[in-house]
Amino acid sequence: MMDRKLIQDIVNLLEQGKAFVLATIVRTRGSTPREVGTSAIILPDGRILGTLGGGCAEAEIRQRALEVLRKREPELFRLDLTADVAEGEGMVCGGIMDVFLEPMGG
């Protein structure tokens, strides 16, 4: 859902000319921590405004987002939470999440 706070943050960052990545969950399959339409901002220092569900999934998205920020190319990133590895790392959701990562501002 469109979150007023997040939109305010986006406007502020754009006005200040700061670079950041807008991450949005655009497709899910199975059980995932947050629903389609959830967005968060990843700052160059790795801080996150908003939440994509926390935990390892969010950590992986953050890492990928920082790469997107370097490449300056939007990317559709598939996060598979069903793999054995994910379970081993404590990701218990067991779904697949497509996250659109978009470099903005700066």
Partner 1 sequence: MAILLAFYRALQQALEENRAAVAARILQVSPELRGFLQPGARKLYCFSGPGVGELGDKETEEIIASQAEEVLKARKPQLVHVPLGKGWVDVFLEPVLPEPHLLILGGGHVGQKVATLAKEVGYRVTVVDDRPEFANRQLFPQADEVICESFASALDKILIDPSTYIVIVTRGHRHDYYCLRRVISSPAAYIGMIGSSRKVKGIMEGLAAEGVPRERLARVHAPIGLDIGAETPAEIAVSILAEIIQVYRQGEQVKSG
Burial (0-12, 13-18, 19+ Cβ within 10 Å), 67: middle
19 binds partner 1 (CB under 8 A): no
Q: Which of 36, 83, 85, 92 binds partner 1 (CB under 8 A)?
A: 36
Q: Which of 67, 80, 89, 102 binds partner 1 (CB under 8 A)?
A: 102
Q: In the 8-state DSSP scheme, what is residue 3?
A: -
37 binds partner 1 (CB under 8 A): yes
Residues in the chain: 106
Distances (CA, A) of 31 to 13, 94, 96: 32, 6, 8
Tokens encoding 62: 């953050």
Nearest distance in Å: CB 87, partner 1: 27
5 binds partner 1 (CB under 8 A): no
96 binds partner 1 (CB under 8 A): no
66 binds partner 1 (CB under 8 A): no
Residue ranges with strand state E in the chain: 20-29, 39-42, 48-49, 75-80, 96-104
Question: Under the rule (CB under 8 A), what is the footprint of partner 1?
Answer: 1-2, 4, 7-8, 10-11, 14-15, 17, 24, 26-27, 36-37, 74, 76, 100, 102, 104-105
